[in-house]
Structure 1
Amino acid sequence: MLQRAAAGFGYVALQGLLGREKAQAEVIPNPLAPKQPQFPARAKRVVFLFMKGGPSHVDTFDPKPLLQRDDGKPYPYEQPRVQFAQTGKLLKSPWSFKQYGQSGLPVSELFPNVAQCVDDLCILRSVYGTNPAHGGACLKLHTGSDTQIRPSMGSWVLYGLGSENENLPGFITICPTLAHGGVNNWGAAFLPAYCQGTPIGNASIPADKALVRHIRNDLLSGEEQRKQLDYIAKLNREHLELTGPDLALEGRINSFELAYRMQSTMPEAQDINGESEATKRMYGLDNKVTANFGHQCLMARRFLERGVRFVQVTHSDGEVQWDQHSALFKGHTKNAAEVDKPIAGFLRDLKERGLLEDTLVLWGGEFGRTPTAQGGDGRDHNPHGFTMWMAGAGVKPGIAYGATDDYGYFAQQDKVHIHDLHATILHLLGMNHEKLTYRYAGRDFRLTDVEGRVVKEIIA
């Protein structure tokens, strides 16, 4: 109307006002808004069940008849040039294996409940890494590098796809270990701040006591906080208009807003009181042995169904873990008993709710263990060949892929490097690992560095 009335200056002023309002609205867009994958995806979200310390593959999902036969004999082939520590003669598994399901895949008696879900598993028996030490191997598994501080795979996934929930973090890690890489295992490194994982508790805190720090504000009411945040945001926007884009400042503004929304959403998501007694029993919450890890898995399901893109659940008690340099039987028996029923319950629950169709479940540790003995009745670290498994979201169910040698020391057939694992995860999420890059310090970085292939043979 002003333009048609030839009120030129009034029209210019109106345009300027509208333009400023639009600019203010666009100064800080929501970086966690969902993004389209690069190509049709099989998975929408990922949950990583991390067994800290390195479970033994030859005692869990990779049976070795020759190891049983040759117990006490020397390992007949050349051992790795670099070893974490010296080991002795071959040590047979103290557990028997049985075939399960229609697939007939063998599983150790350590995992009788997970064995009932074997037809949903895609067991990778030929995974290998590069580092025999916990710290380097954990970083390699989580970030793709054991020598540099790089973004974690959860951060890369969030960077590439955003989140499906505006009121919760897009990347959550439940009761993570603070050792062997610590925060770097869920850190964003040089990626934008919003890609950082949000820890809930840590490995030394019982799951039912694990909370996001400072989730409640005891000093200000919600209305007062809203006024405070609005005023801070106004000042920050004025600052951004003068300085131009500032990723660090924009990240802080977005973190303030997310933290405000989380105050009501996070406690509700963590509150399992509304779950049925049957569901709680399925996760093992009625047994003190399984209750802690079961609580973590149940929280993970609640986060996944609320749109959290990447969830990590860590089994690490801070003492025994899966790191049995001695007392293999005692340690692995204890650890498997704590996680077996919760994991099986988690898989069944996802399947019954239809979540397994587009949720990728990943299980494993930072490496496996040697077939040779250490400390008489233990096994040393072994990054040269070990087992991880996947389930759901586009992977072939009820198969075992790849193989280690006759005794389980080295990945030998259809080898899957950690970079290959990462490339495959990203592919299932609809992202090309070679094109999901971020320019930093003059170079385009990616999760798989300069390597990695998609293991297409395991994709349904």
Structure 2
Amino acid sequence: MNHSDLPSHFDLENRRLFLKRSGMGLGATALATVCSAHNAGATNALHFPAKAKRVIFLFMAGAPSQIDLFDDKPALVDQFNQPLPPSVSQGQRVTAMTKGKEQIVAPSMFKFSPQGQSGIAMSELLPHLGTVADELCIIKSLHTDAINHDPAKTLICTGSQIPGKASMGSWLSYGLGRMNENLPDFVVMSSAFWTGGTGNVQALYSRLWGSGFLPSKHQGVSFQPSGDPVLFLSNPEGVTASSRRRMLDLVAKLNQEHLQEIGDPEIQATISQQEMAFRMQSSVPELTDLTNEPKHVVDSYGPEVHKSGSFARNCLLARRMIERDIRFVQLFHRGWDHHVGLPKKLRGQAYDVDQPSAALLLDLKNRGLLEDTLVVFAGEFGRTTYCQGKLTRTDYGRDHHPRCFSVWMAGGGIKGGITYGQTDDFSYNIVEDPVHVRDLNATILHQLGIDHSRLTFPFKGLDQRLTGVEEARVVQGILA
């Protein structure tokens, strides 16, 4: 269903004086009804049967090199140190770091081998992920519009390069409503990059998990690697749980009176989030306490799982969140921006994510959760086949490349043990089955039972949606 009949947040704001002055007060009552509808989930009923209930999005911030991990191009060995043919580059846009410089081919130094019964070729850097290759759908033909990190991250996370739009997790919270009354429906965790890769790491920014024009209750809740998992979760010294309860009751009463007076939906969001914060004081410590996890399960995530803030630990926490019906969990792992010294740095990054990602899939599968949990592994764009920095057989860097890159998906009604799409012999252009990031987002929504074109929110005279106004399609060829 479309929701153009629902007043937007700013429309509601503009009607405050009318509601305040209406003698019968019917306007405020109707407005409160709209607010409660938002709490329940805007779609009310799914557009079609859902294959997935929850999503874990593993975001590799900085852009992993597809040509060194997933998109094997063995013939490039013969092209070492040769200029990239103009027939391949086709005068495409390049970054300022490459503009005016010769583009010299750098083949991957890493060996690929077939994995699983499906025989998917994967890099030697991913031995653990190779053991679950038959669960993976590797899309080799993803492409995006942005060539720089900031707009590319913003595009894949919110559907637009322009800041201010709602993130995917926020859209799902808005569209589908809450599954667990004691925990947020959208949680974000960021892990530290490996200790040897401290250079050239971009900051993350809250708009990647923000609610944009949607009510603020739908924004992601960021969990911290140390101290309270959520900021200000603990009561201040001298404040007991009972005194906090009395304070919240009084504040809620005052806010309800204010809501009835002016009908601002953000007041309703404030009330509900204050109540959620109170419940989280008991639910979050239980969620993040790993003492009752079986040792063999913890150990399966690798040695780094014992380090607070590591990607491995966050993967284990993500599984615990999924068990407790948190709908959307997004893990950010930085440090993938390898313009120079790629082989050494990529080894470190792969070490960080390989075993934990594989363990996450197996853990979900063993618990019967992978069937209705969609796991996505993606960066913001890909890497060039030509070199940056020093070039030898074992040392090179790669620039940004939006024209083609690889991601993988697993579970949630996605075919396992397949690849989709093809690139040319240089992993530079797509030659078969292109998939735009908007198509990826449309497909994720589809697996959750949502028609991307029908999940909308009115803002600035436009029915906004995650996939924007441009054409987007569900990638039918990867659906089980």
Please confirm whether the aligned pair reaches a TM-score higher than 0.5, indicating the same fold: yes
* Residues 325 and 70 (structure 1), Cα distance of their counterparts in 2 relative to 1, 3 Å cut: same
What does residue 16 of structure 1 align with? none
Amino acid at match of 1:314: F
Match of 2:171 in 1: 156
Do the aligned partners of residues 289 and 211 (structure 1) sit closer, same or farther apart at CA in structure 2, a change above 3 Å counting? closer
- Answer whether contact 1:72 1:89 (CA < 8 A) is retained: yes
Q: Where does 1:288-367 land on structure 2 (aligned, <5 Å)?
A: 292-316=310-334, 321-367=335-381
Asked if the contact 2:69/2:123 (under 8 Å) is kept, the reply is yes
Q: By how many angstroms is 1:258 displaced?
A: 0.6
Q: Mark the CA change 1:31 to 1:258 in structure 2 (over 3 Å): closer, same or farther.
A: farther
Residue 26 of structure 1 deviates from its aligned partner by 6.8
CA contact (8 A) 1:151 1:447 kept: yes
* Matched residue SS, 1:216: coil
Q: What residue identity is the alignment partner of 1:241?
A: Q
SS class of match (1:449): coil
In the alignment, is the contact (CA less than 8 A) between 2:70 and 2:121 conserved in 1? Answer: yes
Contact 2:50 2:447 in 1 (8 A): yes
**Match runs of 1:113-152 below 5 Å:** 113-152=128-167
1:285: Cα distance to partner?
3.7
Deviation at 1:287, TM superposition (A): 7.0
Residue 37 of structure 1 deviates from its aligned partner by 2.0
- Which residue does the alignment assign to 1:71? 80
Answer whether contact 2:307 2:313 (CA < 8 A) is retained: no
1:147, CA displacement in angstroms?
2.4
Q: Does 1:459 align with 2:474?
A: no
Worse overlay, 36-45 or 295-304: 36-45
Instruction: Name the structure 2 match of 1:200.
Output: 223
C-alpha spacing 1:348/1:136, structure 2 compared with 1 (3 Å): same
Report if aligned partners of 1:53, 1:323 keep a CA contact under 8 Å in 2. Answer: yes
Are the structure 2 counterparts of residues 210 and 417 from structure 1 closer, same or farther at C-alpha, using a change threshold of 3 Å?
farther
Please state how far the C-alpha of 1:158 moved relative to its aligned partner.
Answer: 1.1
Q: Are 2:403 and 1:384 aligned?
A: yes
* 2:274 alignment partner in structure 1: 256
Match status 1:44 vs 2:53: yes
Q: Deviations over 1:99-136 (max 9, x none)?
A: 01110000000100000000000000000001111101
**AA of the residue aligned to 1:358:** D
Q: Distance in 2 between matches of 1:64 and 1:27?
A: 55
Partner of 1:275: 293
- For 2:123, the equivalent position in structure 1 comes to 108
Distance 2:91 2:139 in 1: 22
8 A Cα contact 1:139 1:181, kept in partner: no
Q: 2:214 aligns with which of 191, 197, 204?
A: 191
Q: Percent same amino acid among aligned pairs?
A: 43
1:68 Cα deviation (Å)?
2.3
Structural mapping, 1:22-37, within 5 Å: 29=36, 31-33=38-40, 35-37=44-46
Distance, in Å, in 1 between the alignment partners of 2:388 and 2:430 is 21
2: CA distance between counterparts of 1:421 and 1:436? Answer: 16
CA distance 1:289–1:233, shift in 2 (3 Å):
closer
Matched, 1:403 2:422: yes
Contact 1:426–1:433 (CA under 8 A) maintained in structure 2: yes
Q: Is the CA contact (8 Å cut-off) linking 1:328 and 1:378 kept in structure 2?
A: yes
Instruction: Name the CA shift for 1:291/1:96 in 2 (closer, same or farther; >3 Å).
Output: farther
Q: Which amino acid aligns with 1:308?
A: I
Distance change >3 Å, CA 282–CA 209, structure 1 → 2: farther
Shift of 1:241: 2.0
- Give the aligned CA root-mean-square deviation in angstroms: 2.3
Map of 1:3 onto structure 2: none
CA drift of 1:442 comes to 1.3
TM-superposed CA distance for 1:95, in Å, is 0.4
Task: Provide Cα deviations, 1:281-340, integer angstroms capped at 9, x if missing partner.
Answer: 101146779982110100000111101000011112xxxx01110001100001101111
- CA deviations 1:170-195 (Å, max 9, x no partner) are 00001279955611100001011111
Comparing 155-164 and 40-49, the one that deviates more: 155-164
Report the Cα distance in structure 2 between the residues aligned to 1:38 and 1:200, rounded to whole angstroms: 32
Aligned to 1:14: none
Alpha-carbon distance, 1:75 to partner: 1.0
What is the CA–CA distance in structure 2 between the aligned matches of 1:100 and 1:142, rounded to whole Å? 30
Aligned residue type for 1:363: F
Structure 1 contact 92–371 (Cα < 8 Å) conserved: yes
Using the TM superposition, give the Cα deviation of residue 235 of structure 1 relative to its aligned residue in structure 2, in angstroms.
1.5
Give a deviation string over 1:390-413, Cα, whole Å, max 9, x none. 000111110000011111012231
Q: TM-score, normalised by structure 1?
A: 0.89
- Picking from 45, 51, 62, the partner of 1:53 is 62
For structure 1, the 5+ residue unaligned runs are 1-18, 202-206
Rounded to whole Å, the distance in 1 between the matches of 2:287 and 2:106 is 45
- Distance in structure 2 (CA, Å) of the matches to 1:208 and 1:349: 25
- Match of 1:8? none
Write the distance in 1 (CA, Å) between the matches of 2:167 and 2:68.
29
Does residue 81 (structure 1) correspond to residue 96 (structure 2)? The answer is: no
Amino acid at match of 2:465: R
1-side partners of 2:348 and 2:339: how far apart? 15
Provide closer, same or farther for how the CA distance between residues 300 and 120 of structure 1 changes in structure 2, counting only shifts above 3 A: same
Gaps of 5+ in 2: 1-25, 193-200, 391-395
CA contact (8 A) 1:107 1:115 kept: yes
3-state SS in 1 of match to 2:409:
strand
Task: Give, as a single letter, the amino acid of the residue that structure 2 aligns with 1:222.
Answer: A
Residue 374 of structure 2 aligns with an amino acid whose one-letter code is: L
State the structure with more CA Rg.
Answer: 1
- Counterpart amino acid of residue 68 in structure 1: V
Whether the 8 Å contact between 2:191 and 2:314 is mirrored in structure 1 is no
Contact 1:186 1:197 in 2 (8 A): yes
Specify the code of the residue in structure 2 equivalent to 1:414.
D
SS in 2 for 1:381: strand
What amino acid is the match of 1:194? K
